Amino acid sequence: MMKKTLLLSLSLLLLTACMNNESPKPSSDTVNKITQEDQEKRALKEALDAYSNATIKNDIPTLLTFVYPKVFTLLPKEKMKALLERMYASGKAPNITEIKYKEISPIKSYDDGVYSVITSDMTMELKSPTPNNPEFESMLLGRLQQQMGNEAQVSLNKQDHVFVVKRESKIIGINEQKSGWKFVGYDQAKKYATKNIIPQSIVSHLN
């Protein structure tokens, strides 16, 4: 009888110790915040994928739906569309063939919403203007390499007469007033800083 009583007491002690050592459950507010952050990250990634696919496919209508709307105060949407159409139709525009995300910064809040900085590795191809002149191609390759410097790797596919440019690219994703993720170039955002196109609460945190 004493053994049973002792075993029961030990069992109760162990059970009590385990219950006391349980991790505290997160509050409902914490759970909701985590859920919202996950949803925002997923929405950003989906928008990025759609934006990148449109860029690679030269899908101008889709591409323009992802442009940060205030950019159109500098260049109206229809004019930007016409400009892009002429550029792609000319065959002289670089063709973006690959975009690989290197880093998506943590989503941060600002006055009217949230934003994130996305860093990517981008590959572009540009057709040679003189495919029958290898000497000129070599000279042009040297000039491009000199102009790009350390900002990009430039090579020449001699068989296809295509210049290949690989460089790092930065864009800013902005979800303003829960209207969906839109994008603007990082350098453009800094350039527009004095024009009040990009919110100062975002610009002030750019390097």
Alpha-carbon Rg for the chain in angstroms = 27
Burial of 92 (0-12, 13-18, 19+ CB in 10 A): exposed
pLDDT of residue 32: 59
Instruction: Tell me what the pLDDT averaged over the chain comes to.
Output: 86
**Is residue 136 included in any domain, yes or no?**
no
DSSP 117: E
pLDDT of residue 207: 76
Q: Is the pLDDT of residue 9 over 80?
A: no
State the residue range of the domain holding 188. 30-123+168-203
**Is residue 67 included in any domain, yes or no?**
yes
Tokens standing for 142? 């040297």
**Is residue 138 included in any domain, yes or no?**
no
Tokens standing for 163? 């210049």
**Is residue 185 included in any domain, yes or no?**
yes
pLDDT of residue 27: 59
Exposure of 27 in the CB half-sphere (CA atoms within 13 A): 3
End-to-end CA distance of the chain: 76
Q: Is the pLDDT of residue 108 over 90?
A: yes
86-100 pLDDT tens trace: 988 888 788 999 999
pLDDT of residue 57: 95
Task: Select the more confidently predicted residue: 190 or 171.
Answer: 171
Backbone angles phi, psi at 186, to 5 degrees: -60, -50
- Total domain count for the chain? 1
pTM recorded for the entire structure = 0.79
CATH number reported for the structural domain that contains residue 72 in this entry: 3.10.450
- Give the angle 172-57-86 at the CA atoms, nearest 5°: 90
| Rounded average pLDDT over 18-38 | 60
59-70 pLDDT tens trace: 999 999 999 999
185/188 Cα distance (integer angstroms): 5
**Is residue 163 included in any domain, yes or no?**
no
pLDDT of residue 100: 95
pLDDT of residue 15: 45
**Is residue 137 included in any domain, yes or no?**
no
Task: Select the more confidently predicted residue: 191 or 50.
Answer: 50
**Is residue 41 included in any domain, yes or no?**
yes
**Is residue 150 included in any domain, yes or no?**
no
pLDDT of residue 37: 85
